[in-house]
Chains A and B, each alone.
Chain A
Amino acid sequence: MDALKSFFMTAPVEPAVFAQSLWLIIALPLLGAFVCGVFGKKLGRANVNFIACAMVAGSFALSVLAFWCVNHAPSGGTPVAMENAFSSSAIRYALGYDYGIWFAAGDFRVNLGLMVDHLSGIMLLVITGVGFLIHVYSTSYMEHDESPWRYFAYLNLFIAAMLTLVLADNLVLLFVGWEGVGLASYLLIGFWYTDAAKAWAGRKAFIANRIGDFAFLIGSFLIVLLVGAFNDQASTSNYAPVGINPEAAQVRFREGLEMKGPLTFQGLEVMANAVPASSDKAPNALTLQTPIQAGPLAGRTFGGVLTAALLLFLLGAAGKSAQFPLYVWLPDAMAGPTPVSALIHAATMVTAGVYLFCRMSYLLVLSPTAMLVVASIGAFTALIAALIAFAQDDIKKVLAYSTVSQLGLMFMGVGTGIFWAAVLHLVTHAFFKACLFLGAGSVMHGNGDETDIKKLGGLRHEMTWTWVTFLIATLAITGIAPFSGFFSKDALLHGVHHNHLHGFESASTLLYAVGLVIAACTAFYMTRLYVLTFEGQRSPEAKTEHAHESSGYMTVPLVILAILSVVALVYALPLMPSRNGLQPVMENFLGPVFASAERIASRGALATLDHSVPTMADYLIAWVVALVGGGAAAFAYLKYYPSRGEQPAPAFARAVRRFTQNKFYVDEVYTFLIIRPVKNLGVLLFKLVDTMLIDTVLVRGTAWVTARVGGALRYAQTGDAQAYAAVMALALLGGAVYAIIQVLQ
Chain B
Amino acid sequence: MVHSVDIKYYLVLAAVLFCLGMFGVLVRRNALVVFMCVELMLNAANLTFLAFARQNGDATGHVSAFFVIAVAAAEASIGLAIVIAVFRSRGTVNIEEIRTMKH
Q: Which residues of A contact B (CB under 8 A)?
A: 717-722, 725-726, 729
Contacts and interface: CB of A to CB of B under 8 A. Distances in A.
A725 B102 contact: no
A722 B25 contact: yes
Interface in B8-25: 22, 25
B103 interface: yes
Interface string B18-52: 00001001110000001000000000000000000
Nearest to B22: A729
A722 B27 CA distance: 8
A726 to B, nearest CB: 5
A43 B32 CA distance: 78
A717 B26 contact: no
A85 to B, nearest CB: 75
A728 to B, nearest CB: 9
A718 B25 contact: no
A721 B95 contact: yes
B101 A719 contact: yes
Interface SS of chain B: helix, strand, loop or mixed? Answer: helix
Contact of A722 (B95, B100, B102, B103): B95
B101 A722 contact: no
A719 B96 CA distance: 9
Contact of A720 (B22, B25, B99): B99
Nearest to B27: A722
Nearest to B98: A721
Contacts of B22: 729
Contact of B99 (A719, A725, A726, A729): A719
A721 B102 CA distance: 10
Interface string B75-103: 00000000000000000000110111111
Given A717-B102, A718-B99, A722-B25, 18 more contacts: A718-B102, A719-B99, A719-B103, A720-B95, A720-B96, A721-B34, A721-B95, A721-B98, A721-B101, A722-B26, A722-B27, A722-B95, A722-B96, A725-B25, A725-B26, A726-B26, A729-B22, A729-B25
A294 B102 CA distance: 70
Nearest to A726: B26
A721 B27 CA distance: 11
B20 to A, nearest CB: 13
A725 B34 CA distance: 11
Of the candidates B22, B98, B103, the one having the most CB atoms from chain A within 10 angstroms of its own CB is B22
> Top 4 closest A-B pairs, CB basis?
A719-B102, A719-B99, A719-B101, A725-B25
Contacts of A722: 25-27, 34, 95-96
B73 to A, nearest CB: 21
10 contacts: A717-B102, A719-B99, A719-B100, A720-B95, A720-B96, A721-B34, A722-B25, A722-B26, A722-B27, A722-B34
B27 to A, nearest CB: 8
A725 B102 CA distance: 15
Nearest to A729: B22
Contacts of B100: 719
B85 to A, nearest CB: 16
Contacts of A717: 102
Nearest to A718: B102
Nearest to B38: A725
Contacts of B27: 722
Of the candidates A717, A722, A729, the one having the most CB atoms from chain B within 10 angstroms of its own CB is A722
B8 to A, nearest CB: 14
Contacts of B34: 721-722
B17 to A, nearest CB: 15
A717 B100 CA distance: 11
B19 to A, nearest CB: 10
A729 B102 contact: no
Contacts of A726: 26
A719 B98 CA distance: 8
A717 B34 CA distance: 20
A718 B101 CA distance: 8
B95 A729 contact: no
Contact of B26 (A718, A719, A729): A729
Contacts of B99: 718-720
B58 to A, nearest CB: 23
A288 B99 CA distance: 87
A722 B31 CA distance: 10
A14 B34 CA distance: 99
A719 B103 CA distance: 8
Contacts of B102: 717-719
A733 to B, nearest CB: 9
Contacts of A721: 34, 95, 98, 101
A251 B73 CA distance: 87
A717 B95 CA distance: 15
A297 to B, nearest CB: 68
B23 to A, nearest CB: 9
A734 to B, nearest CB: 14
Nearest to B19: A729
A743 to B, nearest CB: 13
Contacts of B103: 719
Contacts of A719: 99-103
Nearest to B103: A719
A120 B86 CA distance: 87
A439 B100 CA distance: 83
Contacts of B25: 722, 725, 729
